[in-house]
């Protein structure tokens, strides 16, 4: 015989409570009658509407983003039973909606056909509403405001119209006043343009500087803040007079009661917040500092992307990242090609546990006043992915940065870096078509021949992991021009005079650059690879000028340098193309980029491959 675990009458009791929260009516058990996916804007997470029944009534509910995992993993389905652990009962224009932030799926009861003959909660309460309407005008007024809780008593005459700047002081004098004045708080995730009256209790996680704007008709000032509660986050913007009213009141890290804002559709081009709506402060907006005990409102909300996954992220996407600072570049001035305006930029290199390093570009005052040091952890929210010179990240006006955040991801990153990451070698994302791509499968040296790479009209690009077994020590470099970005070969026309035909300049000495030939091996074959100066510097551990000097000294250091460079493994990114040498055609394998093998990363790749066969 089937067991009915539901809590009969729970829905009606939840919505009749003066403060319809789990604190008043804890953990009702309901049956799922329907699960439906809702259309979402591009880039926004999928949302779900669920119809719950307590066997007497049913109601439509919205699952908060933190609860959608139960739908995605198949736990919630038609006929199953759930126990609500965190929820908010709302009424919007006589329509009752249950916002569910937390629940537990009761798998021990399995799935059953619909229990009972539940009716819509609104329909079951219409006769009661009609009776209240006949009871008189006072009762009607009480009903009209019951959704927002008991209306607070009017403020004393001397405090009416208190400016928003003074709201914080007025609230501080009576710490219990906010709770009495706002007994029914909306979750941020339930806000929409179709609601007229609401109050949110939210923490300010970011406040922008005051910005100036202008167009053909007028100009003005604005600022924006990011607000967060347990259900989600939203962006709020104040213009002109509202800058004077609210900018000094709202402080990062503090919690506020906020009401009477206009809810607009979000302008995604100006915001990195995962919300379809945003708020605009208005003349009658109310902002009061919350002096209640901080009961766990989050300090920030992140959705981090590992650096190894950047290759699969769409260009111009907005993401969150966290990493350890490996290097801080110098501030540099540039001029925009489009606006001709000068800008200051600074490149910061971050690394993470995935074994990759990425360059983050910081702009403006942040670049000029940068004071965060290497080995510190930084979390960036809302940075843009760019394919300029390889996968890199750029900080926007709407981005925010937190140094050493007190979150689990930061603590785990610190433990890894202090334990092993500090001494690791990190891979970087490819630059155009010449660098090492993340997660690209390797070709064995046998495969590049069996697949005839380089035999066609177009060059073939491939990545291979191989070990250097021999380096030719003859003609390993050439004398190059000292002019930046020239690199052409120079000829000695007299002692202390080296001439570049391209630049038509004579230099007192050349700069030697590598043109090395390597014999490399893997478990399946051998191949000769050609490499230029950057790769040669890495493999030899010294510049070509230094190696030439060792050669001219006649000591054992020259031979030792080649001996020490042998038997080391690298990841090579190569171009295979047909070449003609001494009237014979052959395929030449030119190294475009190389990096030492990251054994920790390679071990994870091998584990993933093994899992494919298990």
Report d(CA 76, CA 70) in Å as an integer. Answer: 6
The arithmetic mean of pLDDT across residues 94-111, rounded, is 83
pLDDT at 470 over 90: yes
> 27-41, 79-93, 119-133, 271-285 — which is least confidently predicted?
119-133
Q: Which CATH number fits domain 307-428: 1.10.580.10, 2.40.50.140, 1.10.3720.10, 3.40.250.10?
A: 2.40.50.140
Among 2-6, 530-534, 570-574, where is mean pLDDT lowest?
2-6
Residues 204 and 238: beta-carbon distance below 8 Å: no
**What is the pLDDT, as a whole number, of residue 227?**
92
Place 20 in a pLDDT band, splitting at 50, 70 and 90: very low
Does residue 49 have a pLDDT over 90? no
Other Cβ atoms less than 10 A from the Cβ of 31: the count is 27
Close Cβ partners of 231 (under 8 Å, ≥ 6 residues apart): 64, 65, 66, 88, 99, 101, 187, 188, 189, 190
Q: Is the pLDDT of residue 504 over 80?
A: yes
Radius of gyration of the chain (CA): 33
Q: What does the H/E/C string look like for 389-433? A: CCCEEECCCCCEEEECCCCHHHHHHHHHHHHCHHHCCCEECCCCC
Give the class (CATH, top level) of 445-605: mainly beta
Task: Check pLDDT > 50 for residue 166.
Answer: no
The pLDDT confidence band at residue 208, using thresholds 50, 70 and 90, is: confident
Count CB neighbours of 250 within 10 A.
22
Q: What is the pLDDT of residue 141?
A: 35
User: Which helix (H) or strand (E) element contains residue 69?
Assistant: helix 69-72
DSSP state of 439: T
More confident residue, 102 or 180: 102
Angular region, 232: left φ>0, alpha ψ -120 to 50, beta rest? left
Is residue 538 classed as helix, strand or coil in its secondary structure?
helix
Over residues 105-118, the pLDDT tens digits come to: 998 888 888 888 88
- Helix ranges restricted to H, 260-391: 364-368
Can you tell me the distance from the alpha carbon of 532 to that of 516, in angstroms, rounded to the nearest whole number? Answer: 6
Q: If 0-12 CB within 10 Å is exposed, 13-18 middle and 19+ buried, where does residue 229 land?
A: buried
Q: What is the DSSP letter of 74?
A: T
Prediction pTM value: 0.47
Instruction: Compute the average pLDDT of residues 260-274.
Output: 82
> Lowest-pLDDT range, 463-467, 484-488, 502-506?
484-488
Identify the residue with better confidence: 434 or 224.
224
Taking only the tens place, the pLDDT of each residue in 341-397 is 788 888 899 999 988 888 899 988 888 889 899 999 999 988 888 876 567 899 887
Domain at 10-120, CATH from 2.30.110.10, 2.40.50.140, 3.40.1550.10, 3.40.50.2000: 2.40.50.140
For the chain, how many residues are written?
A: 614
Beta bridge partners of 200: 186, 258
- CATH classification (class only), 188-289: mainly beta
Percent above pLDDT 70 for the chain: 81
At residue 173 the predicted structure's pLDDT band, cuts being 50, 70 and 90, is very low
Supply φ then ψ for residue 420, to 5 degrees: -150, -25
462, 448 Cβ separation under 8 angstroms: yes
Measured between alpha carbons, how far is 27 from 12 in angstroms, rounded to an integer?
Answer: 14
- The pLDDT score that the predictor gives to residue 123 is 60
SS3 66: helix
Pairwise pLDDT comparison (512 vs 398), residue with the higher score: 512
How many helices, marked H, and strands, marked E, lie in the chain? 14, 32
Sign of the C-alpha dihedral computed for residues 418, 422, 425 and 430 taken in this order: positive
- Given this model, what pLDDT does residue 282 score? 93
Mean pLDDT over 279-293 rounds to: 88
Query: What's the whole-number average pLDDT of the chain?
Result: 80
Which sequence spans correspond to the domains of the chain? 10-120, 188-289, 307-428, 445-605
Tell me the per-residue pLDDT of 298-322, one tens digit each, with 9 for 90 and over. 777 788 999 888 877 887 888 899 9
d(CA 110, CA 87): 23
- 188-289 and 445-605, same CATH topology: yes
User: Residue 67 is encoded by which pair of tokens?
Assistant: 């609860």
Comparing 32-46, 242-256, 289-303, 500-514, the range with the smallest average pLDDT is: 32-46
The 3 state secondary structure assigned to 553-569 is HCCCHHHHHHHHHCCCE
Q: What is the pLDDT of residue 469?
A: 95
CB neighbours of 474 closer than 8 A, spacing ≥ 6?
none
């Amino acid at each position: 015989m089937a067991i009915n675990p539901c809590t009969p009458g729970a829905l009606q009791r939840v919505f009749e409570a003066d403060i319809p929260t789990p604190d008043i009516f804890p953990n009702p058990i309901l049956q799922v009658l329907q699960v439906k996916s809702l259309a979402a804007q591009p880039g926004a997470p999928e949302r779900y509407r669920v119809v719950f029944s307590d066997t007497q009534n049913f109601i439509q509910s919205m699952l908060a983003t933190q609860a959608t995992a139960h739908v995605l993993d198949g736990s919630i389905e038609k006929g199953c039973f759930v126990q609500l652990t965190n929820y908010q009962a709302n009424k919007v224009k006589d329509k009752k909606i249950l916002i569910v932030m937390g629940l537990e799926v009761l798998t021990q009861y399995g799935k059953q056909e619909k229990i009972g003959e539940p009716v819509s909660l609104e329909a079951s309460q219409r006769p009661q509403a009609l009776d209240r309407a006949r009871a008189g005008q006072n009762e009607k007024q009480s009903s009209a405001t019951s959704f927002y809780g008991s209306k607070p008593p009017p403020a004393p005459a001397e405090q009416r119209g208190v400016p928003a700047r003074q709201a914080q002081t007025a609230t501080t004098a009576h710490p219990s006043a906010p709770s009495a004045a706002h007994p029914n708080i909306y979750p941020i995730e339930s806000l929409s343009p179709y609601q007229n009256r609401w109050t949110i209790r939210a923490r300010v996680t970011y406040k922008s500087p005051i910005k100036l704007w202008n167009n053909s008709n007028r100009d003005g000032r604005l600022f924006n803040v990011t607000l967060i509660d347990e259900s989600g986050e939203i962006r709020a913007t104040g213009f002109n007079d509202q800058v004077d009213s609210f900018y000094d009141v709202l402080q990062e890290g503090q919690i506020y009661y906020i009401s009477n804002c206009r809810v607009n559709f979000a302008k995604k081009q100006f915001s990195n917040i995962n919300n379809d709506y945003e708020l605009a402060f208005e003349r009658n907006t109310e902002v009061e500092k919350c002096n209640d005990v901080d009961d766990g409102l989050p300090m920030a909300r992140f959705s981090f992307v590992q650096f190894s996954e950047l290759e699969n992220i769409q260009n111009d996407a907005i993401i969150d990242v966290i990493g350890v600072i490996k290097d801080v570049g110098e501030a540099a001035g540039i001029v925009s090609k489009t606006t001709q305006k000068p800008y200051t930029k600074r490149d910061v290199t971050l690394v993470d546990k995935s074994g990759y390093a990425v360059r983050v570009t910081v702009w403006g005052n942040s670049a000029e006043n940068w004071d965060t040091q290497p080995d510190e952890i930084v979390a960036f929210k809302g940075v843009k992915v760019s394919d300029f010179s390889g996968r890199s990240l750029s900080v926007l006006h709407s981005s925010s940065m937190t140094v050493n955040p007190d979150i689990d991801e930061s603590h785990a990153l610190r433990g890894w870096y202090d334990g092993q990451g500090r001494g690791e070698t990190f891979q970087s994302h490819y630059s155009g078509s010449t660098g090492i791509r993340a997660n690209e499968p390797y070709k064995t040296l046998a495969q590049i021949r069996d697949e005839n790479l380089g035999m066609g009209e177009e060059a073939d690009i491939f990545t291979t992991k191989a070990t250097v077994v021999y380096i030719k020590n003859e003609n390993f470099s050439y004398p190059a021009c000292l002019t930046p970005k020239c690199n052409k070969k120079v000829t000695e026309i007299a002692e202390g005079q080296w001439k570049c035909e391209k630049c038509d300049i004579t230099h007192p000495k050349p700069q030697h650059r590598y043109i090395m030939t390597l014999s490399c091996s893997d478990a399946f074959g051998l191949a000769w690879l050609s490499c230029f100066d950057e790769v040669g510097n890495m493999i030899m551990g010294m510049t070509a000028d230094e190696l030439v000097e060792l050669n001219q000294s006649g000591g054992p250091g020259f031979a030792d340098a080649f001996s020490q460079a042998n038997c080391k493994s690298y990841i090579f990114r190569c171009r295979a193309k047909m070449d003609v040498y001494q009237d014979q055609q052959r395929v030449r394998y030119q190294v475009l980029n190389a990096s030492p093998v990251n054994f920790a990363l390679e071990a994870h790749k091998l584990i993933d491959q093994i899992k494919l066969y298990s």
